[in-house]
């Protein structure tokens, strides 16, 4: 098996496609995964056309050529569905942004390497977002994520590899999925998954792609977000053959943020929903209730607030010192 490792590119370097002949400038590294390296890039316009604003994209440089092409095909399929649905109707903010901009090969250090260009998703991974901005956002973001899944499922696809790394959240709390390497047509075997999030791993069902597979992973995702320690302990402590859904439910019950969602999560884990739409609507209903519930405990200060508090305190201190130095009052 030929394992190709994409060379690490530095910012400022350029990539030109051998077939379509378009050029992109590397701005910075976005992430590195099992099947490629992702960069933030800007399209370099030929013939010095500077009238249009610079467009930013995400560009993934590949690893294994066949797997890479499958991923491109998945994005193509989604783009096609989106186009069909958009024709005739007005396109909104992200409907205008393509899943796949183009796919091409480039030559790096004398080696031909495939790459593709996709929409850039500004934002941070779900776990970073929750840590920075606090669990109040959880219900809202969960609903947004379920809407994304609903769209995929209604069009016959299953995402497969749901995990905290593959969910990006924008500043406004909207979410987008990245890494479509696991995207699988409903009815086929899941193409790529992560052990902890896998229904089969928890002896909770098959690895055939259906909407319930993603909903199950979604449930594990919530556990991972709010009680990673307990999840790790369970996984390490329980024999694989007796690992079961009840282990997940036990962790959920211990977690205050997840309490209102317990019955929802139980249904997701036991594949009891009739559709993703039903699951989403139910989720949104619960989260609206949660937001209107009287608070028992004072809300913990989110870390960004603490930081900004520390920042202002520091500024105050500096200006006092500066003033004191100018006045030289201690010298009398």
Ligand X SMILES: Nc1ncnc2c1ncn2[C@@H]1O[C@H](COP(=O)(O)OP(=O)(O)O)[C@@H](O)[C@H]1O
Interacting residue ranges for ligand X, rule: CB under 6 A: 30-31, 33-36, 38, 58, 60, 118-121, 125, 165-166, 168, 178-179, 181
CB of 195 to other proteins, least distance (A): 6
- Torsion of Cα atoms, 270 then 275 then 277 then 282, to 10°: -30
Burial class, 270, CB count within 10 angstroms (exposed 0-12 / middle 13-18 / buried 19+): middle
CB under 5 to 8 A by kind: which of Mg ion, other proteins, ligand X, none does 38 bind?
Answer: ligand X
150 neighbors 140 (Cβ within 8 angstroms): no
Q: What is the 3-state secondary structure (H, E, C) of 4-73?
A: CCCCCCCCCCEEECCCCCCEEEEEEEEEEECCEEEEEEEEECHHHCCCCCCCEEEEEEECCHHHHHHHHH
The partner residues of 116 in beta bridges, in order of sequence, read 60, 103
322 sits near other proteins (criterion: CB under 8 A): no
CB under 5 to 8 A by kind: which of ligand X, Mg ion, other proteins, none does 103 bind?
Answer: other proteins
Q: Tokens 């959240």 identify what position?
A: 169
Burial class, 175, CB count within 10 angstroms (exposed 0-12 / middle 13-18 / buried 19+): buried
Residue 265 to residues 89, 133, 224, 278, Cα–Cα distance (Å)? 35, 23, 13, 13
Among 80, 112, 253, 288, contact with other proteins (rule: CB under 8 A): 112
Q: Compare residues 174 and 179 and give the one whose CB is closer to Mg ion.
A: 179
CB of 193 to other proteins, least distance (A): 9
65 sits near other proteins (criterion: CB under 8 A): yes
Q: Compare residues 120 and 140 and give the one whose CB is closer to ligand X.
A: 120
Q: Compare residues 31 and 205 and give the one whose CB is closer to ligand X.
A: 31
Interaction mask 31-70, Mg ion, x per CB under 5 A: --x-------------------------------------
30 sits near Mg ion (criterion: CB under 5 A): no
Binding to other proteins (CB under 8 A) within 240-299 occurs at 240-241
**Tokens of residue 307, six digits:** 């930081």
233 sits near other proteins (criterion: CB under 8 A): no
CB of 185 to other proteins, least distance (A): 9
Among 47, 78, 65, which residue's Cα sits nearest to residue 1?
65
Q: Compare residues 60 and 191 and give the one whose CB is closer to ligand X.
A: 60
CB of 60 to ligand X, least distance (A): 6
**Tokens of residue 213, six digits:** 């597979």
Output b/e per residue, 107-129; b: 16+ Cβ within 10 A: eeeeeebbbbbbbbbebbbbbeb
32 neighbors 14 (Cβ within 8 angstroms): no
Specify the length of the chain in residues.
Answer: 332
Q: For the chain, give percent helix, strand, coil, nearest 5.
A: 50, 20, 35
CB of 6 to ligand X, least distance (A): 10
CB of 127 to ligand X, least distance (A): 11
Binding to other proteins (CB under 8 A) within 179-218 occurs at 187-190, 195, 200-201, 206-208
Binding to other proteins (CB under 8 A) within 16-45 occurs at 19
Interaction mask 162-201, Mg ion, x per CB under 5 A: -----------------x----------------------
Contact positions vs other proteins (CB under 8 A): 1, 19, 65-67, 69-70, 72-73, 76, 103-105, 112, 114, 187-190, 195, 200-201, 206-208, 240-241
Contact positions vs Mg ion (CB under 5 A): 33, 179
């Amino acid at each position: 098996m030929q394992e190709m490792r994409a060379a690490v590119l530095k910012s400022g370097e350029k990539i030109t496609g051998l077939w379509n002949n378009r050029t992109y400038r590397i701005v910075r590294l976005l992430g590195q995964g099992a099947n490629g390296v992702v960069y933030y890039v800007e399209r370099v316009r030929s013939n010095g056309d500077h009238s249009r604003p610079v467009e930013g994209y995400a560009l993934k440089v590949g690893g294994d050529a066949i797997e890479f092409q499958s991923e491109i095909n998945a994005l193509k399929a989604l783009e096609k569905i989106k186009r069909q649905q958009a024709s005739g109707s007005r396109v909104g903010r992200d409907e205008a942004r393509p899943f796949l901009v183009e796919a091409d090969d480039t030559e790096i250090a004398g080696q031909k390497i495939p790459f593709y260009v996709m929409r850039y998703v500004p934002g941070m991974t779900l776990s970073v977002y929750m840590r920075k901005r606090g669990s109040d956002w959880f219900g809202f973001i969960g609903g947004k994520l379920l809407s994304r899944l609903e769209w995929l499922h209604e069009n016959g696809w299953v995402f497969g590899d749901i995990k905290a790394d593959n969910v990006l959240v924008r500043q406004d709390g909207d979410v987008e999925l990245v890494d479509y390497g696991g995207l699988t047509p409903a009815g086929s075997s899941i193409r790529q998954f992560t052990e902890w999030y896998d229904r089969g791993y928890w002896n909770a069902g098959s690895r055939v792609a259906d909407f319930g597979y993603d909903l199950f992973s979604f449930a594990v995702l919530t556990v991972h977000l709010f009680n990673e320690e307990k999840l790790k302990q369970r996984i390490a402590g329980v024999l694989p053959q007796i690992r079961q859904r009840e282990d997940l439910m036990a962790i959920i019950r211990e977690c205050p943020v997840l309490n209102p969602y317990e019955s929802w999560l139980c249904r997701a884990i036991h594949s009891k929903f009739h559709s993703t739409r039903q699951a989403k609507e139910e989720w949104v209903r619960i989260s609206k209730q949660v937001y209107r519930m009287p608070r028992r405990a004072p809300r913990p200060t989110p870390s960004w607030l603490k930081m900004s508090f520390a920042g202002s305190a520091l500024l105050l201190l500096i200006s006092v010192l500066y003033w004191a130095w100018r006045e030289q009052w201690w010298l009398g």
